[in-house]
Structure 1
């Protein structure tokens, strides 16, 4: 079977090279602005900024993180006084994750840096081309997710 990509090109596309470069740029921009978060931590905070008080499972699903990983992330965010766990009043087995005042207070600053990094990443790219990229990546994702 003939492939449309060479093994080298296919690896580059599917390995997440762009994702890694974005993460490095974001981390660098965080450090320049004295924000001591990882990409994984800010994605958890991003979910909570939209939906404060959700379960660990919801956070895991929305950030595509496994259960042990989300537990570690929450533990670290809790140590930094950015989130806290509270028992669910309807189901004592569940813990709901809430932002602390400190976690709420950094939202604007963090999102400004994230947005600036996104602007840097897509500068000089026409919106039509970005739409094609978005649709293409969505199709790749959908193709892979339907195989589960």
Structure 2
């Protein structure tokens, strides 16, 4: 049996690329003067795409557990980026809505994130990126 080469394993490479991307986006936000974490940005992004989602929907869409999602929402609410409102259909359920402050972040944070992604993908063709994303989605699906 050959020795396992961690540095060549798909698990290691995916994790390294993911960590570097998350850290770069978070650093870019901070350097631009925004006190927003990568995790908080993923919640905001879901609401920018469709405001009024439930905490369960946000947790599912960001692949986080309920406790972590609740904490992220609490912190964003403290900074007046979003608010919880009772659902019209079921008052036990809270829907999460962006505030004006949360909506104002969309353009700038999206621009910063895209610039970071552009730096990360220099020298990679659109076809290569499409193939990479397709393969990674299949890996995730196989394990999910």
Rounded Cα–Cα distance in structure 2 between residues aligned with 1:142 and 1:2: 28
* Structure 1 equivalent of residue 13 of structure 2: 13
Give me the TM-score of the superposition, normalised by structure 2: 0.93
* Structure 2 equivalent of residue 35 of structure 1: 34
Other structure's SS at 1:97 match: strand
Rounded Cα–Cα distance in structure 2 between residues aligned with 1:126 and 1:24: 23
Other structure's SS at 2:91 match: coil
5+ unaligned residues in a row in structure 2: which ranges? none
Rounded Cα–Cα distance in structure 2 between residues aligned with 1:89 and 1:53: 11
Rounded Cα–Cα distance in structure 1 between residues aligned with 2:127 and 2:105: 33
Other structure's SS at 2:80 match: coil
Rounded Cα–Cα distance in structure 2 between residues aligned with 1:78 and 1:70: 12
Change (3 A) 1:7 1:119: closer
Rounded Cα–Cα distance in structure 2 between residues aligned with 1:8 and 1:113: 30
Rounded Cα–Cα distance in structure 1 between residues aligned with 2:8 and 2:140: 18
Give me the TM-score of the superposition, normalised by structure 1: 0.90
Rounded Cα–Cα distance in structure 2 between residues aligned with 1:41 and 1:109: 15
The answer to whether the aligner puts 1:74 opposite 2:73 as a matched pair is yes
**Displacement, 1:90?**
1.5
- How many residues align structurally? 143
Rounded Cα–Cα distance in structure 1 between residues aligned with 2:46 and 2:115: 19
Rounded Cα–Cα distance in structure 2 between residues aligned with 1:7 and 1:31: 32
Rounded Cα–Cα distance in structure 2 between residues aligned with 1:128 and 1:25: 23
**Displacement, 1:2?**
7.3
**Displacement, 1:28?**
1.4
Rounded Cα–Cα distance in structure 1 between residues aligned with 2:46 and 2:134: 23
